[in-house]
A and B are shown apart, each in its own frame.
Chain A
Amino acid sequence: MIATLRDTCRQLLRDGKVDVVIGYGQDPVGQAFSLSDSTQAKCLGNDRDGPVFPVFIQRPEDVEQLVWNDRCHANLTVYLKRPEIRALGRPAIVVKGCDQRALVVLEKESQLDRSQIYVIGMACDGMCRPKCETCDVHEPRGADVIIGKSASNMTAISADQRYATINAFLARSSSERLAYWRQELARCVKCYACRQVCPMCYCPRCIVDKNRPQVISTSATLKGNFAWHITRAFHLAARCVGCEECTRVCPMGIDLRLLNLSLAQAAEENFAFRAGDDPQAEPVVGSYALQDKESFIQ
């Protein structure tokens, strides 16, 4: 699989079809970390292969840096929004099935021109992340090329399975839920890693950075943290594709996906909509239907 990936990328760069390949790489030239062996063993455990980094490859001879293994969990589509990456020229991007959904949403929201991006889809049987347990897209849809073949037989995942975590959480009483978030969000240091890593958080100026008026208290107190996390989750309502990068990168280990899941569930139950599933579907927020059914408005 890795040989095919490297060959494909080499060819793309050689032919000038793309200017940069956004992919997973391993410590590009062995210098990203100049750690002593003992430190490395301590920090990276016994995983001698070390962590996986995003790499931006511009020369055909550098494709050897590309890797593909079960640590490629990052969602690289986030880099498509960065001006410094855009400046590199036309990109090819390595995506998994889950990441590809982000491309669908971004295209629908006019954030990218699909014809200007070469999508390299990797067949994936899971990366040992929580999201992989309920994954039903092992081979990316709508990719320009698919590398590898998924061994898992794309069994349909029911909504019950998909939302088991959130249903279990919602089974608690509302005061228990508030107490849970109170305990969790007390740890939040407002590093905004959850925002930075999210492919959908592409606003040039985020609402938390605006201070006239200051809608969200900026200090990392419970008040500010609740306001921020409610805002973050709701701004992703029916847009979040469930890549769970926010949860993965949270340095405080806050289970942010619960909030995202609750909104994904609401979107699926009320509007039979899953973000990134159907390129033709109108986004839920930003459109409306006369026959929307609710039961709580008197």
Chain B
Amino acid sequence: MSETESFEPKIIAYVCNWCTYLGADLAGTNRLEYPANVRIVRLPCTGRIDFNLIIKAFEMGGDAVLISGCHPGDCHYTAGNYHARRRWMLFRQLLEAVGIETERVQFTWISAAEGKKWQKVVEELTEKTRTLGPYVGYREVCEANG
């Protein structure tokens, strides 16, 4: 049991500059506490989040990936999140086919005013990843022969 307790999940969060990043910022200025397991990578828009970034996160030892941006209709660039949503709908199926655990990839919409939601999402995902345990599947494959 002590092993699972000492396991601290590494979560990579790809967030959009205009909504979720500001939401996380708001959580900070409001002094809301949330687990330090999340590493935030700020990108201009969810539409910019290349699927290779998700793969890369797992390659490099991430246990879960969080992807978050503006709610539908709120994109700073009008439609970036709509394009992203379509791509994820397809990409999830490819992850399934390849055998990468989709429960470790979480998508959310968090606006600049939702510091509270950011806190909740990060807390929940950290807890969930803690239960799932370290993600060795894909990393092991990548480290297999160089």
Contacts and interface: CB of A to CB of B under 8 A. Distances in A.
A270 B94 CA distance: 14
Given A226-B141, A227-B55, A174 B96 contact: yes
Interface string A255-298: 00011001101110011000000000000111111101010111
Contacts of B73: 290
Contact of A263 (B83, B93, B146): B93
Interface residues on A, range: 35 or more
B98 A221 contact: no
A176 interface: yes
Contacts of A177: 96-99
Contacts of B51: 230-231, 234
Q: Is the interface of B mostly helix, strand, loop or mixed?
A: helix
A222 B142 contact: yes
B82 interface: yes
B90 A223 contact: no
A258 B93 CA distance: 11
A298 B93 CA distance: 18
Interface in B6-43: none
B108 interface: yes
Given A178-B99, A179-B99, A288-B83, A221 B90 contact: no
Contacts of A223: 59, 141-144, 146
Contacts of B83: 286, 288
B89 interface: yes
Interface residues of B, number: 41
Contacts of B130: none
B86 A284 contact: yes
Nearest to A178: B99
B92 A296 contact: yes
Nearest to A284: B86
B99 A174 contact: yes
A264 B109 CA distance: 26
A290 B90 contact: no
B113 interface: no
A238 B142 contact: no
B98 A259 contact: yes
B79 to A, nearest CB: 6
Given A219-B146, A297-B108, A292 B98 contact: no
A179 B143 CA distance: 14
A292 B82 contact: yes
Contacts of B144: 182, 186, 221-223
A296 B107 contact: yes
B77 interface: no
Contacts of B107: 296-298
B57 interface: no
B108 A298 contact: yes
Contacts of B96: 170, 174, 177, 262
Interface in B93-146: 93-94, 96-102, 106-109, 121, 137-138, 141-146
Contact of B94 (A186, A216, A262): A262
A80 interface: no
Interface in A172-196: 174-182, 186
Pairs of residues from A and B, 10 with the lowest C-beta to C-beta distance, nearest first: A178-B99, A177-B99, A262-B97, A266-B93, A288-B82, A223-B142, A221-B146, A297-B107, A298-B108, A237-B90
